[in-house]
Amino acid sequence: MVTGGAGFIGSHLAERLQAEGREVKVVDNLASGEQRLKFLEASGIEVDRVDIRHPACTEIIEKFRPDEIYHLAAQMDVRRSVQDPVYDADVNVLGTLRVLEAAAKVDARVIAASSGGCIYGEAPVEMLPLDERSLRNPDSPYGITKAVMEDYLRFYRSNQGLDYVALALGNVYGPRQDPFGEAGVVAIFGRRLIDRRPCVIFGDGEQTRDFCYVADVVDAFVAAAERGAGELFNIGTAIETSVNELYWAIAGICEVDSPPRYEPARPGELQRSCLDSGKAKRLLGWTPSTDMDAGLRATVEFIRGRGE
Ligand SMILES: NC(=O)c1ccc[n+]([C@@H]2O[C@H](COP(=O)([O-])OP(=O)(O)OC[C@H]3O[C@@H](n4cnc5c(N)ncnc54)[C@H](O)[C@@H]3O)[C@@H](O)[C@H]2O)c1
């Protein structure tokens, strides 16, 4: 079962599992996934339009009895979490608890999506890239709810024997991403540069992120079905890319040579973020394999309507 399976990452994951011959069910309330339904329908994947907070979700889990629940459904917009922390916690904490309760009952492994950028927050530069022993220092309600999710996973493991793996993802990019959210910057720049519209960078553009291609992230979820029980893994490339570098890389692919427009930095935005995934390599056998140029080209092709 893939919660949030109509989402950007979840739809790729559901398709991969189906292609590997697994019986897949998607649970998604379509809070943001509507436009991706066509991909799931084309693959013949069954979608239950259900909210993870609703008892109907529990019933589906108890009836379907999945071996694994890939838990990706979330309120994942950092800015929305700041404006409405109650909604954020309702979905990301209470919704998650419903899923964990049901998973424990049917002995399903939960492979949960956390956020590497948001649970660690701004760390001292000399600590980068951050490994899993780094201090958690979430600086948004979204980061807090993702950090709390991991505490609950551990609690359910010790209290009810829940089998879980948590993946702290870097900034995921690739085809099908909404042009908003945590790493929507690739989708936003891509769309605007293809349309020859100006792009805005908030701050000086020297803020960095760890951009990880969606197919590599899907590989990590698949690897976590078999290994890594009870552990948190960072899933990133350990490569810092500044927003300026990203802009010029996409501009080059789109054959645009005009510079971006700069506006004042947004308060509270992370300056630097980069993840050490050595633990995932050792215990999951996972490493990212897509270089950024190839990933960006595939993303731009998709936005142009040529991909997939
Ligand atoms: N995209 C990234 O860069 C990134 C980085 C770190 C972590 N993550 C995490 O990975 C997961 C997937 O992210 P994504 O980028 O695919 O996001 P997304 O918004 O595309 O997908 C989330 C899906 O969850 C669904 N959903 C939201 N609330 C729901 C609810 N109450 N009940 C049922 N379904 C609900 C949405 O409709 C959507 O289809 C999320 O948990 C997110 O926090 C993403």
Q: pLDDT truncated to tens, each residue of the chain (308 aa)?
A: 999 999 999 999 999 999 999 999 999 999 997 889 999 999 999 999 999 999 999 999 999 999 999 999 999 989 899 999 999 999 999 999 999 999 999 999 999 999 999 999 999 999 999 999 999 999 999 999 999 999 999 999 999 999 999 999 999 999 999 865 545 899 999 999 999 999 999 999 999 999 999 999 999 999 999 999 999 999 999 999 999 999 999 999 999 999 999 999 988 789 999 999 999 999 999 999 999 999 999 999 999 986 55
Q: How many residues are recorded in the chain?
A: 308
142 is an active site residue: yes
Whether the bond between 129 and the residue before it is cis, its omega within 30 degrees of 0, is: yes
- Dihedral of CA 157/75/55/225: which sign? negative
pLDDT at residue number 263: 97
Report pLDDT for 86.
98
* pLDDT score recorded for residue 178: 83
Predicted confidence at residue 114, as pLDDT, reads 98
Most ligand 1 atoms within 8 A of CB, residue of 61, 72, 209 to mutate? 72
Residues 6+ apart with CB under 8 A from 248: none
- DSSP labels, 28-54: ---SS-GGGHHHHHHTT-EEE---TTS
For 152-163, letters b (16+ CB in 10 Å) and e give bbeebbeeeebb
Q: What is the pLDDT of residue 308?
A: 54
CA nearest neighbour of 53 among 108, 92, 10, 6: 92
Which of 3, 9, 37, 57 has most ligand 1 atoms within 8 Å of its beta carbon, as the pocket-test mutant?
Answer: 9
Name the closest-CA residue to atom 15, ligand 1.
8
Q: Which uninterrupted H or E stretch holds 68?
A: strand 68-71
If you measure from the C-alpha of residue 258 to the centroid of ligand 1, how many angstroms do you get, rounded to a whole number? 33
Could you tell me the distance, in angstroms and rounded to a whole number, from the CA of residue 157 to the centre of ligand 1? Answer: 23
- CA 48 from chain center: how many Å? 21
Structure tokens at 185: 């910057």
Query: What atom of ligand 1 comes closest to residue 118's alpha carbon?
Result: 6
Q: How far is the CA of 159 from the centre of ligand 1 (A)?
A: 27
Dihedral over alpha carbons 50, 234, 218, 211 (to 10 degrees) = 100
Provide the phi-psi class of 44: left if phi over 0, else alpha when psi is between -120 and 50, else beta. Answer: left
Greatest C-alpha distance within the chain? 57
Task: Point out the catalytic residue in the list 70, 120, 142, 247.
Answer: 142
Q: Which long-range contacts (CB under 8 A, 24 or more apart) does 158-164 make?
A: 160/104, 161/104, 162/100, 162/103, 162/104, 162/110, 163/107, 163/108, 163/109, 163/110, 163/229, 163/230, 164/109, 164/110, 164/111, 164/112, 164/229, 164/230
Residue with tokens 């419903």: 98
Query: How remote is the CA of residue 181 from the centroid of ligand 1, in Å?
Result: 9
Q: Which amino acid is at 243?
A: V
Which numbered atom of ligand 1 lies nearest the CA of 91? 31
Which residues have C-beta atoms less than 6 Å from ligand 1?
4, 6-10, 28-33, 51-53, 72-76, 91, 95, 113, 115, 169, 171-172, 178, 181-183
Q: Quick one: which atom of ligand 1 is closest to the CA of 76?
A: 43
71 C-alpha to ligand 1 centroid (Å):
9
From ligand 1's centre to the CA of 25, what distance in Å?
Answer: 16
Q: Which CATH class is domain 2-172+211-238+275-289?
A: alpha beta
Q: Are 200 and 243 in contact (CB under 8 A)?
A: no
Q: Which tokens sit at 163?
A: 């089998």
The Cβ of residue 281 has, within 10 Å, a number of other Cβ atoms equal to: 13
pLDDT (0 to 100) of residue 105: 97
Identify which of 2, 3, 8, 216 to mutate to test ligand 1's pocket (most ligand atoms within 8 A of the CB).
8
Give residue 180's pLDDT.
58
Residue 287: helix, strand or coil by DSSP?
Answer: coil
Going by CA atoms, what residue is nearest to atom 32 of ligand 1?
51
